[in-house]
């Protein structure tokens, strides 16, 4: 493989090569992401699985062009043919929201608590020129909420985030993230705060967005049950490195790496 050649049509949506992220510390630098390579195909899902502090959020936010303020980043990141590391901040802000959707780890992170849901979604459509008039943007909102599994979309569009249940708020955040039909959706622990039934519904929603829009999903979790439900591919992270990759079924049923085996065994212990 020639690593610097951009992906042509039919290639992966996301290609990360030898990505490293270091945070300078008082004593020693934290190597939050250590020489990571991965890719996600159109309509595919990659689950980034790892324990707390393994670097999952740092990796996800670096792909979004939002690593910590003093992060030192090396390596290559391509979104389709676009070299993301070569973009200016202004160019990157056009990519975020239109070509990459993001559901952040903090469930309140993407919705503005002071504004109703509908106008927030309409504004994203206007900002990225998906809707050219205010009217067209407003009219598109109920359909987008419905596609994210929100019942009574007109009423929800008029609600403030704090007026919604956690599950509905997360659906609204997902509707916002995919409003401009991005190529890639990055979701960081999107179901951690939700009960089991809602969790399954949200994970299945990602599945339907993948098949309906050809959306590629990069999903971050520490939860094996979440990884199993999403399916697709999994990359197991430990202290900044990917220790094992493969299909989720294969990796979780026959782990090749001792760390993955420990994760699976610990989970089995919880269930017993
Ligand atoms: N802005 C920052 N400045 C300095 N160190 C950071 C910063 N962000 C993250 N780190 C460090 O990088 C490492 C990876 O953190 P990260 O948040 O990416 O892990 P994570 O896998 O998402 O964990 P969790 O499951 O708890 O969310 C940790 O040691 C963390 O303390
Ligand atoms: Mg995290």
Ordered domains of the chain (ranges, CATH): 14-271 (3.40.50.300)
- pLDDT < 50 regions, the chain: 1-7
- How far away, in angstroms, is 117 Cα from ligand 2 center? 25
Going by CA atoms, what residue is nearest to atom 11 of ligand 1?
A: 32
d(CA 85, CA 79): 10
How big is the CA angle at 182 (ends 153 and 111), to the nearest 5 degrees? Answer: 50
- How far away, in angstroms, is 51 Cα from ligand 2 center? 9
**Please, are residues 235 and 38 in contact by the beta-carbon 8 Å criterion?**
yes
DSSP state of 179: T
Q: Which atom of ligand 1 is nearest to the CA of 240?
A: 14
- How far away, in angstroms, is 228 Cα from ligand 2 center? 19
Q: Which atom of ligand 1 is nearest to the CA of 57?
A: 22
pLDDT tens-digit series, residues 19-65: 999 999 888 889 999 999 999 999 999 999 999 999 999 999 999 99
- Of 270, 245, 271, nearest in space to 257 by CA: 245
209 Cβ closer than 6 Å to some ligand 1 atom: no
Residue 43's pLDDT is: 94
Residue 4's pLDDT is: 47
**Please, are residues 73 and 65 in contact by the beta-carbon 8 Å criterion?**
no
**Please, are residues 144 and 175 in contact by the beta-carbon 8 Å criterion?**
yes
SS3 136: helix
Going by CA atoms, what residue is nearest to atom 14 of ligand 1?
A: 55
- Of 88, 96, 86, nearest in space to 60 by CA: 96
d(CA 250, CA 104): 28
11 Cβ closer than 6 Å to some ligand 1 atom: no
Going by CA atoms, what residue is nearest to atom 12 of ligand 1?
A: 32
d(CA 68, CA 128): 25
Residue 272's pLDDT is: 53
d(CA 57, CA 104): 9
**Please, are residues 157 and 145 in contact by the beta-carbon 8 Å criterion?**
yes
Going by CA atoms, what residue is nearest to atom 9 of ligand 1?
A: 58
Residue 1's pLDDT is: 43
């Amino acid at each position: 493989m020639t690593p610097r050649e951009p992906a042509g049509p039919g290639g992966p949506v996301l290609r990360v090569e030898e990505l490293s992220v270091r945070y300078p510390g008082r004593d020693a630098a934290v190597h939050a992401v250590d020489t990571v390579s991965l890719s996600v195909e159109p309509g595919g899902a990659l689950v980034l699985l790892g324990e707390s502090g393994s670097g999952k959020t740092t990796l996800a936010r670096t792909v979004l062009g939002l690593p910590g303020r003093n992060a030192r980043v090396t390596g290559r990141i391509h979104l389709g043919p676009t070299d993301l590391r070569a973009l200016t901040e202004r160019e990157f802000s056009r990519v975020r929201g239109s070509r990459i959707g993001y559901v952040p780890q903090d469930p309140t992170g993407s919705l503005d608590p002071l504004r109703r849901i509908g106008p927030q979604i309409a504004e994203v459509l206007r900002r990225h020129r998906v809707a050219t008039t205010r009217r067209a943007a407003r009219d598109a909102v109920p359909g987008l909420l419905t596609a994210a599994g929100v019942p009574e979309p007109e009423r929800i569009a008029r609600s403030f985030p704090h007026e919604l249940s956690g599950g509905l708020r997360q659906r609204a955040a997902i509707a916002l993230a995919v409003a401009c039909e991005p190529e890639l959706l990055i979701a960081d622990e999107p179901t951690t705060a939700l009960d089991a039934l809602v969790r399954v519904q949200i994970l299945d929603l990602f599945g339907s967005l993948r098949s309906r829009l050809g959306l590629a999903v990069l999903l971050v979790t520490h939860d094996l049950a979440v990884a199993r439900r999403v399916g697709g591919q999994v990359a197991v992270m430990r202290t900044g490195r990917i220790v094992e990759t493969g299909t989720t079924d294969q990796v979780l049923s026959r782990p090749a790496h001792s760390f993955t085996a420990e994760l699976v065994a610990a989970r089995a212990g919880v269930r017993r």
